[in-house]
C-alpha cells in the first residue's frame, strides 16, 4: 500500500495519518490511562460461583498520566443487571454501603445505564484515583462484555482500555 500527498503552494505542509482496525482486544492498552478492575461478590448465594440475584462490587483503579479535563469512565455490565444506587424501585441502599472512591478526581455526573456505569469528570489530575459501584446480577447466562474504557472526551487519543472476561451467571438452584 502506498500513500501520496501532493503539495501545491509555498506553505510548509503537514499531515496527520491514523490507521484504525477492528481487532479483538486481548490485553490492556494504556495511552494516557491505566485501568485495573476487581469484582468482589457481596454475600454470594454459593461461594465461588456467580448466581442469579448475587450482588457484586466493582472496583476500578485508574492511573492518569497527565492532567485532563472532561474524562469519562465507561464500564459495561451484563445484560439485565441492575446498577444499584439510583434510589429507584427494588434498589438496595444497604447493598451500596461501603462503596469507596479515592483520589483527587470526583465525578461531575454519574450515569447508571442498562448497559453500563459511566462517570463523567470535569477535571482529572495526574495520578491515581478509584471508582466503586455495586451491581445486582438478574439474568442467567454467559455474557461477553466490551472493554472497560477511560477516555478524555476532547482528546480521544488519550485513553485506556481493559478487556473484560466473559461473565458467567448460573441459576441459584443449579449452582449448589
- Give the chain's end-to-end CA distance (angstroms, integer): 58
For 100-132, the pLDDT digits (tens) are 778 889 999 999 999 999 999 999 999 999 999
Matching CATH number, 29-163, of 3.40.1050.10, 3.20.20.70, 3.40.50.2300, 2.60.40.690: 2.60.40.690
Q: Is the Cβ–Cβ distance between 32 and 65 less than 8 Å? A: yes
The confidence band for 90, taking pLDDT boundaries of 50, 70 and 90, is low
Three-state DSSP class for residue 53: coil
77-95 mean pLDDT: 75
Amino acid at each position: 500500500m502506498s500513500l501520496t500527498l501532493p503539495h501545491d503552494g509555498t506553505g510548509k505542509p503537514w499531515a496527520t495519518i491514523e490507521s484504525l482496525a477492528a481487532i479483538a482486544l486481548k490485553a490492556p492498552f494504556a495511552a494516557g490511562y491505566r485501568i485495573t478492575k476487581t469484582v468482589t461478590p457481596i454475600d454470594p448465594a454459593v461461594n465461588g460461583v456467580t448466581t442469579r440475584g448475587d450482588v457484586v462490587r466493582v472496583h476500578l483503579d485508574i492511573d492518569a498520566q497527565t492532567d485532563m479535563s472532561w474524562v469519562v469512565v465507561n464500564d459495561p455490565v451484563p445484560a439485565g443487571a441492575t446498577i444499584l444506587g439510583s434510589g429507584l424501585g427494588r434498589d438496595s441502599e444497604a447493598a451500596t454501603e461501603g462503596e469507596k472512591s479515592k483520589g483527587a478526581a470526583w465525578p461531575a455526573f454519574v450515569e447508571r445505564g442498562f448497559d453500563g456505569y459511566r462517570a463523567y469528570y470535569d477535571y482529572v489530575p495526574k495520578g491515581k484515583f478509584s471508582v466503586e459501584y455495586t451491581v445486582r446480577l438478574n439474568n442467567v447466562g454467559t455474557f461477553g462484555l466490551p472493554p472497560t474504557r477511560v477516555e478524555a472526551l476532547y482528546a480521544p487519543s488519550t485513553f485506556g482500555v481493559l478487556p473484560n472476561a466473559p461473565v458467567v451467571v448460573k441459576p441459584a438452584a443449579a449452582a449448589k
